[in-house]
Structure 1
């Protein structure tokens, strides 16, 4: 297709979204995929993309739009990531406010049990939050910047962290738009759904009510598309004028079959829950609905509260006012079951003045790890009920 014609087709997407109260409509899955993929190939401009994202944001993004965007993002991730042998996909994009990322301790337990865990996130987005990227190395979790490094780390210790910028060149551009406009877009949900290595189980967290239903529908739409890539061609609701020509390189043409994606679509499961401050970690202070969804069905499992009547959680870390190195030290000490000593980074005096606070931190850490491990075990189908999963999680944590 000629470049000029391609540009007009891209412009038609913005027009479809912005024709006014009566004339506008949402994008189909294919059109949303084209919005992202077309921008990555230089067909659409940054201005057009920003306008489309904000028009969708004001109206409220549909599941088809998010699924199409996730597929578009996935198409910009090198297929070398698909060749990695990963058993658990763990996206961590929200960060926390004051609390420490206890999920890393749960991930280390799983790695010690033979799982291969791929953590990924974006510490440059919402930089005021406490992201796992600042703590992984303190817990001896390797960072990887390419599939080769990730493979070496997974083979060596069964776990690694990857910055989202190393996955797709679009991450930085979406981040710039977010920071420039001051508004989130469908990207924040879509990036969580990419599952770069097509692991058989993938975790998805959310914060705002209703996003659980969106994640369920998005997961099913993506699975449907992985199994039948013609779904992209057949999903247009608009006129033929709105439909991009088949000459566009979508990387999801029906002749191109990604067997790893199809395997995930057939057998993979996604665990969806409201995480602590939106991060991918079970909150032990409340009962949590864990939705396990696959292409064929979905089920809801209720995880009980582990910290009944616990108060003051949000102020624990702020009371200590830990620097990043000190926070890493607390995490590693809890993992090692060690005690604080006088010579360790000057943290002894701070902690000795807050012995009760540190004891509470340990209590929160243990409850968070056991709850999060239980959710992963249930997602994997290792146990048929919550009690068995919790017992196994408790034993795994104690035997680490």
Structure 2
């Protein structure tokens, strides 16, 4: 029996007979699809069945492992996925990618960051970071080698999905064809194409914060710390004005309850390189600082130190 048929039977049986895929089954399935031995129609059926049954960390982790086996490593610190975009609201500028400002400030303070993402252009109500890269001064690269060169020189680079894994662009396009999102939308956040030791994971639904942390534990034994949280509109941008439970994948799997930032005296920017309106500058300032704090915590492992450094970097950025 082929791996595709085996997986379809496992997922598609009746209520009492169906089961989720094991990590090894998911890994073999995606590996075989990449090799051309599983048909697109078979994989599409499996992905929809997985979504109906609610994909598990083992299933998505197996997929991630299959793709990571094909990736080249990059010498940098932090993996930062950008796939969701931010929702556009009338008469507001809160859709602007404040996470790019945070990433650029961290890079200017010596951290080496690989951004990666994909602007799904059929999502007309979303603003994606790719549109604002030049405004922030972040270079969009077309290969691993160029990414390394730019990171060595500037501390940060953006690697679009189509440049390093066009197969996944095809898989993501199926959500438009079939009318439902698939587990690939979950998987892309955990790709870590640079195989970096630290990472951020933003998601829309609070329950997915734990899921992404569990996926990381399954997909990699090498990560030192990955922080998973409910991001703004599902993007990897932290909202410090909201209390939430964050999940951390390190040598263990842990959760922490982070209170909203209410006691911090954060200076408000007078302008913004991504075009934030004056009425939204306070929210932008807190968003940038909060996102830097989350990123710094991932690397430093100390929330108080991360918060203090984030505020200091922000004040220096404004002067």
Do both proteins adopt the same fold according to a TM-score greater than 0.5, normalized to the shorter chain?
yes
2-structure distance, mates of 1:106, 1:150: 19
Match of 2:14 in 1: 20
Match of 1:71 in 2: 65
Match of 1:290 in 2: 246
2-structure distance, mates of 1:134, 1:307: 34
2-structure distance, mates of 1:375, 1:333: 21
Q: Secondary structure at the match of 1:135?
A: helix
Q: Does 1:152 align with 2:149?
A: yes
How is 1:173-192 mapped onto 2 (pairs within 5 angstroms)? 173-192=170-189
Cα deviation, 1:36-86, whole Å, max 9, x if unaligned, reads 1111111110110011011111111111111111112223x432xx1x211
CA contact (8 A) 1:139 1:331 kept: no
Q: Does 1:389 align with 2:303?
A: no
CA contact (8 A) 1:142 1:153 kept: yes
How is 1:201-240 mapped onto 2 (pairs within 5 angstroms)? 201-224=198-221
2-structure distance, mates of 1:110, 1:377: 8
CA contact (8 A) 2:57 2:214 kept: yes
Match of 2:92 in 1: none
When structure 1 is superposed on structure 2, of 34-43 and 123-132 the one drifting more is 123-132
Superposition deviation, residue 214 in structure 1 = 1.2
Runs of 4+ in structure 1 deviating by more than 6 angstroms, as ranges, are none
1-structure distance, mates of 2:252, 2:19: 29
CA separation of 1:396 and 1:148: change in aligned 2, threshold 3 A? same
Q: Does 1:371 align with 2:312?
A: no
2-structure distance, mates of 1:271, 1:373: 12
Match of 2:77 in 1: 87
CA contact (8 A) 2:61 2:216 kept: yes
Cα deviation, 1:303-326, whole Å, max 9, x if unaligned, reads 423499xxxxxxxxxxxxxxxxxx
2-structure distance, mates of 1:389, 1:16: 45
2-structure distance, mates of 1:273, 1:358: 26
Q: Which runs of 5+ in 1 are unaligned?
A: 225-263, 309-329, 335-356
Superposition deviation, residue 217 in structure 1 = 1.7
Superposition deviation, residue 19 in structure 1 = 2.3
2-structure distance, mates of 1:307, 1:132: 30
CA separation of 1:62 and 1:78: change in aligned 2, threshold 3 A? closer
Match of 2:91 in 1: none
Superposition deviation, residue 194 in structure 1 = 1.4
Cα deviation, 1:312-356, whole Å, max 9, x if unaligned, reads xxxxxxxxxxxxxxxxxx74277xxxxxxxxxxxxxxxxxxxxxx
Match of 2:53 in 1: 59
CA contact (8 A) 2:151 2:157 kept: yes
CA separation of 1:52 and 1:15: change in aligned 2, threshold 3 A? same
- Higher Rg of the two aligned structures: 1
Q: Secondary structure at the match of 1:20?
A: coil
CA contact (8 A) 1:87 1:201 kept: yes
CA contact (8 A) 2:214 2:249 kept: no
CA contact (8 A) 1:139 1:332 kept: yes
Cα deviation, 1:191-222, whole Å, max 9, x if unaligned, reads 11111112121000111131122122212112
CA contact (8 A) 2:80 2:114 kept: yes
Please report the RMSD computed on the Cα atoms of aligned residues, expressed in angstroms.
2.1
Q: Secondary structure at the match of 1:199?
A: coil
1-structure distance, mates of 2:145, 2:218: 30
Q: Secondary structure at the match of 2:313?
A: helix
Cα deviation, 1:111-166, whole Å, max 9, x if unaligned, reads 00111111111102553211101101121100011011111211221111111111
Candidates 81, 95, 110, aligned match of 1:114: 110
Under a length normalisation based on structure 1, what TM-score does the superposition of the two structures give? Answer: 0.71
CA contact (8 A) 1:93 1:192 kept: yes
- The number of aligned residues is 304
Match of 1:360 in 2: 279
CA contact (8 A) 2:113 2:157 kept: yes
